[in-house]
Structure 1
């Protein structure tokens, strides 16, 4: 008790001292942080930079008592959270609370669709709602930081971690990443939590992986990335900046070496850009052991050198690397690190804890949390419904068109796979709460259900059950074939060289097609798969990703017609793996693809130049299987002419005049279903200082249009929306600046990135 009283007397005394030496109530958060920092020993400061795995032993508990641990990973039991927090609060010298962290990627207990599926909703309001639901479930346990969202741009379908992000497009990822941050942190678009002492009652977000991780060579995780500075700034960095502006309280370094320099030691990324250009005041965290990875990267000879490089790059929290913990004192003694710089790094960590309100309420709010509320389940259901992308429909869907019961065969390895439908990164998800497609259809009186899985899991090559499924198909009206990937085939370190359906699933689709019964193929996967042959054989194709807890009821509602599909692809789907990386916003090249002469059309012995010289693959040409932004509906939409009105506005920062454009387009629902549509705004710069992409997404809306109704959508464009990064050399030094070229620009409003038929031109002066 004496120790506790002394602790609070010391803190109060230092607070008074700080107030008398220039600190004012105008900056109360800084005053609190500096007051506490002044009390801390060097060892306690380093302790705040030390993040450990939460599996406990006596040594780790002793470290907590000594103030040598600042945050813990993977403690999800609220009773254990409170036990460990009491050690920190009541038995350590200063009573600085621990920060409990967890990979809560797309739901805590109630699991949402994987993030790439959430991106397919093209509904940032719904994504924000899902993130808020996730935070509400998570914070009950005392966990206050999640390592999400992942905003790495992914253009290669082989890369397993694309399941955790929002796809290939920078703008879509910016919007979805910022929405996720706001949802986790209980903030809103016009009141982001950044550079503020506002208390965050939600879950601190962590934008990752900074930066360029998604461009790994050959789509192989942890692999090298080579990204020119202009491309880095145009494509890969904007989502991180959007998350920072939305108030993301932390960011995470990436595993990869970017242009030869790993992020944990990358001063250009972490200091020049993140701190100095963006004025980011949050905390920078390593990925698991990524500081120690500087040794196998070949950057450092030993861990002491790795600790120096991480310190120099202002990596503030070392996740399970033990670098600062073991070597900081030695480095201080020999003058390799500076106390003031350590103070600055620890100041950010303490600010984070104050902003989370941990000094006032460090504990789990209850030791018996309640999960799976109706509100949470409804959010998961709606997100799964809107994430499903209809890729093909020959009229078989929706299945329910009258009062007659529909006889169906449900088959495939993912029809009743409770764990697999949850997707990757579901540490706390409980498969027993999953509602599978088979369960949902069996509970619906409109269907008579036969079930023969055919394959027991997605990689099953035996095919022993295929014959039984084919036999059962002969007595039904339609086949529902649930295929795809098990959850373990996507996510971290789950990269594939072959992105066809694994196992015997292709053969099963072929055998089902031979029955002559219409087969609806529902793909549940963590990446775009090369399913062209199977699409040809199917009567309809629904791409459903891994849909989470409520995947079954969601797919039932879409297939039956209770909900009209409204998902659109957030990634291009290639025809063959040899086309990747493949993305819609590519450069045109000097010899853009013409009508291809494919490999089997080339005459034997033909001259070298007789088949032309343009940019395509001999096996498949230059087109994907399905384009970015693509998605069908049960209704039809007609897009009118684009109308553009130019006006003069003001630049917000300088007050100078600028051009502004109002882009309008009328969309009519010409079908019989009320449905949501996603009009997309694309722009192409026709000439400029550098070659520019053939098209770029600059805006989108998700709107409900009733049958027979016409709705006019409006987008705003300014020159800043069209700006990109330029490079200028002065001697041996490159300077980078963002500006808009005076040029003509094509503008489209379209349902996807391919249907760009009615354009209008604008001119930037």
Structure 2
């Protein structure tokens, strides 16, 4: 064990038991105001006095630098010398808002993700924030779940790579960070946020924990425990995960913080009978900070006095919190907001340019029958509820403001240098059936050359606590598109969403589909650049797009069954009823993982291995030639997949093992190389070890998980 910092141990020696318990307690900033009165809200303070709240060790939801400065001053007036640490959900930007994390992952560009996280950290740190509750690396296989928008999608390898990039960016920008939600929060039954999860030990280790484990390598300051049930017990009742796995096996020595109210919810779940039991359960799970409930503050001192809790163990937790504060420099500087610096950098042109670039690389071109890119001389009819809507920047927009957002209409006007009219046609309301605006939209579009329809779901219909049973486009929007299609004009859909929407019904109504997700401050600027060809689409899907909600959960790296349906067609079409599938739906997604078009085309050829067999201490070099066969420069995301054909446990049909963004000029070819080692092939074997087993493997490479070249090799002892 490393020698402890005497400065910190001296602080601990001078603390009472009550001080120590409060150091492990976090409350929202709106619980403290200038006159030291508790701001009552939707939750109960449960005996926490004003004095106790003033002495908590950390605060969340800092409003701005001036508020943080005022709270620091109040604490000093009350004789509290320990520096307060301010935390906030900085998820995809602070004031300059970037595309949602699900969209950013579609770029397959970790350098871009790192830079955007750095910018978010710079802005947040300048406004008094010390730490963010990000990255979220939960595995997302069910698009009905609203929080897929915060994830990197359905692949654990990609999730880990994106998570590490966010951590590096936050650290480079001066912000501490928190990996969340540990663990398996993304497996909520029915895609319902906060619902129970039931995951086998194998799936937990093989898929749901992989990204968290990778993130430990970048030394995040915190991990956040999730508040869901896992296999019949709340997560904080799983010390085999929080202690044995996270701390002992992975070596994480930072702070474990609970999710909001999670400790008290041990009681609501029906697991712990009293607040005292809640505190003891969390304490034994090595939880360091209790967020937004007072079980630690009200019970830990007595538990120590009664000999139930060892004070040395309490001191260890306090030390981890103080060490985090020290790592952030809070004991070395008199921190106060530099308003001149903050105002100079916030939402500056450099940061706006980065936000535009991020959205350009995040939008996925799902369909294009030659309509895109648009000619700037074309007469377009810009219609739809999101044509001139500012609330397209994302659910977790921190301090971002709608007034700062560039709408699609504004982006097109700036691109064309002229005024463009628009017509809503209908509401973005999920349950709206109001068609009163259809006639005006149809009249508006009659004389156009091309219809650009901006449709989708509102940004507040995804995100935390916003799950959906039906993820099709809202019915009124589909009806509007059917009316517009009768005009016989080319139709371009720009689709907004925080999840993959089921677009089966509207795909035949469109000649092109650009999936814009929720794109941040410069969303409209980037969309205009893509529509008119000033930027070329390159993004790829990181979640499978279901044909219908009933297919969820659906993901590419599934297992083969003993009765596969070769055609994947519905039984009513194939007559194949004794195989896996539906009577009334295809097995395959509408768009597979890794899918995305460009304004040029790419061809893969000449897949080669430098050897057919590999020993455990060896490696195989794979190469493939990628050729830009179109007349535009473009970027292809080359994806490498592997399948272990026979193993001690059944392996997925494909698993992403590597990717590379390859820029190619029109007509240019490049050879792309991929190295295979034993570690590339490792998995959790039947014996529970993370290892590779000898045998035969398939190697795939292509522009998506479905359309690949294939070859084979063997691992030998």
What is the TM-score of this pair, normalised by structure 2? 0.94
Aligned residue number for residue 222 of structure 2 = 250
3-state SS, counterpart of residue 619 of structure 1: coil
Aligned residue number for residue 696 of structure 1 = 655
Compute the displacement of 1:59 (Å): 5.1
Match of 1:357 among 329, 332, 347: 329
Aligned residue number for residue 263 of structure 2 = 291
Aligned residue number for residue 372 of structure 2 = 397
Match of 1:33 among 8, 27, 34: 8
Match of 1:436 among 388, 407, 412: 407
Compute the displacement of 1:643 (Å): 1.7
In 1, the alpha carbon distance for the partners of 2:70 and 2:144 equals: 43
Compute the displacement of 1:758 (Å): 3.1
3-state SS, counterpart of residue 611 of structure 1: coil
Are residues 611 and 681 of structure 1, via their aligned partners in 2, closer, same or farther at CA, if it must alter by over 3 Å? Answer: closer
In 2, the alpha carbon distance for the partners of 1:202 and 1:538 equals: 45
Aligned residue number for residue 11 of structure 1 = none
After superposition, where does 1:256-655 map in structure 2 within 5 Å? 256-368=228-340, 369-370=342-343, 371-400=346-375, 405-419=377-391, 421-445=392-416, 449-459=420-430, 460-595=432-567, 598=570, 600-601=572-573, 611-646=576-611
Compute the displacement of 1:151 (Å): 0.4
The yes-or-no answer on 1:97 pairing with 2:83 is yes
Are residues 276 and 687 of structure 1, via their aligned partners in 2, closer, same or farther at CA, if it must alter by over 3 Å? Answer: same
After superposition, the C-alpha distances for 1:237-290 in whole angstroms (9 at most, x for unaligned) are: 111111111111101111111111212232111001001101101101111101
In 2, the alpha carbon distance for the partners of 1:264 and 1:80 equals: 33
In 2, the alpha carbon distance for the partners of 1:491 and 1:577 equals: 17
| 8 Å Cα contact 1:47-1:67 kept in structure 2 | no
Compute the displacement of 1:463 (Å): 1.7
Compute the displacement of 1:333 (Å): 2.2
Compute the displacement of 1:306 (Å): 0.5
Compute the displacement of 1:597 (Å): 5.7
**How many residues in Structure 1 have an aligned counterpart in Structure 2?**
701
3-state SS, counterpart of residue 759 of structure 1: strand
The RMSD of aligned alpha carbons is 2.1
Are residues 633 and 335 of structure 1, via their aligned partners in 2, closer, same or farther at CA, if it must alter by over 3 Å? Answer: same
In 1, the alpha carbon distance for the partners of 2:638 and 2:250 equals: 32
3-state SS, counterpart of residue 504 of structure 1: helix
| 8 Å Cα contact 1:479-1:520 kept in structure 2 | yes
Are residues 462 and 330 of structure 1, via their aligned partners in 2, closer, same or farther at CA, if it must alter by over 3 Å? Answer: same
Compute the displacement of 1:451 (Å): 1.2
Aligned residue number for residue 43 of structure 2 = none
3-state SS, counterpart of residue 224 of structure 1: coil
3-state SS, counterpart of residue 642 of structure 1: strand
In 2, the alpha carbon distance for the partners of 1:116 and 1:451 equals: 29
After superposition, the C-alpha distances for 1:196-246 in whole angstroms (9 at most, x for unaligned) are: xxxxx7111111000000001100111111111111111011111111111
The yes-or-no answer on 1:173 pairing with 2:148 is no
| 8 Å Cα contact 1:647-1:659 kept in structure 2 | no
Aligned residue number for residue 5 of structure 1 = none
| 8 Å Cα contact 1:635-1:672 kept in structure 2 | yes
In 2, the alpha carbon distance for the partners of 1:132 and 1:648 equals: 43
In 1, the alpha carbon distance for the partners of 2:10 and 2:72 equals: 22
In 2, the alpha carbon distance for the partners of 1:155 and 1:553 equals: 31
Compute the displacement of 1:423 (Å): 1.2
In 1, the alpha carbon distance for the partners of 2:444 and 2:54 equals: 65
Compute the displacement of 1:364 (Å): 3.4
Compute the displacement of 1:457 (Å): 2.7
In 2, the alpha carbon distance for the partners of 1:76 and 1:641 equals: 56
Compute the displacement of 1:405 (Å): 1.5
The yes-or-no answer on 1:76 pairing with 2:63 is yes
Aligned residue number for residue 106 of structure 1 = 92
Aligned residue number for residue 682 of structure 1 = 641
Match of 1:150 among 136, 139, 143: 136
In 1, the alpha carbon distance for the partners of 2:612 and 2:505 equals: 50
After superposition, the C-alpha distances for 1:93-140 in whole angstroms (9 at most, x for unaligned) are: 5x2111101111101101000110111111111001000000000001
Are residues 294 and 362 of structure 1, via their aligned partners in 2, closer, same or farther at CA, if it must alter by over 3 Å? Answer: farther
The yes-or-no answer on 1:185 pairing with 2:171 is yes
Are residues 350 and 525 of structure 1, via their aligned partners in 2, closer, same or farther at CA, if it must alter by over 3 Å? Answer: same
| 8 Å Cα contact 2:387-2:423 kept in structure 1 | no
Compute the displacement of 1:685 (Å): 0.6
In 1, the alpha carbon distance for the partners of 2:88 and 2:569 equals: 52
Compute the displacement of 1:501 (Å): 1.0
| 8 Å Cα contact 1:450-1:472 kept in structure 2 | no
Match of 1:137 among 123, 145, 164: 123
Compute the displacement of 1:517 (Å): 0.4
Aligned residue number for residue 733 of structure 1 = none
| 8 Å Cα contact 1:408-1:450 kept in structure 2 | no
Q: Structure 2: 5+ residue runs without aligned partners?
A: 40-48
Are residues 60 and 343 of structure 1, via their aligned partners in 2, closer, same or farther at CA, if it must alter by over 3 Å? Answer: farther
Q: Structure 1: 5+ residue runs without aligned partners?
A: 1-22, 187-200, 603-609, 651-656, 729-735
| 8 Å Cα contact 2:649-2:686 kept in structure 1 | no
| 8 Å Cα contact 2:556-2:654 kept in structure 1 | yes
In 1, the alpha carbon distance for the partners of 2:529 and 2:26 equals: 44
3-state SS, counterpart of residue 295 of structure 1: helix
In 2, the alpha carbon distance for the partners of 1:38 and 1:647 equals: 63
Compute the displacement of 1:446 (Å): 6.5
Are residues 31 and 224 of structure 1, via their aligned partners in 2, closer, same or farther at CA, if it must alter by over 3 Å? Answer: same
| 8 Å Cα contact 2:570-2:587 kept in structure 1 | no
Compute the displacement of 1:362 (Å): 4.8
Match of 2:689 among 730, 737, 741: 737
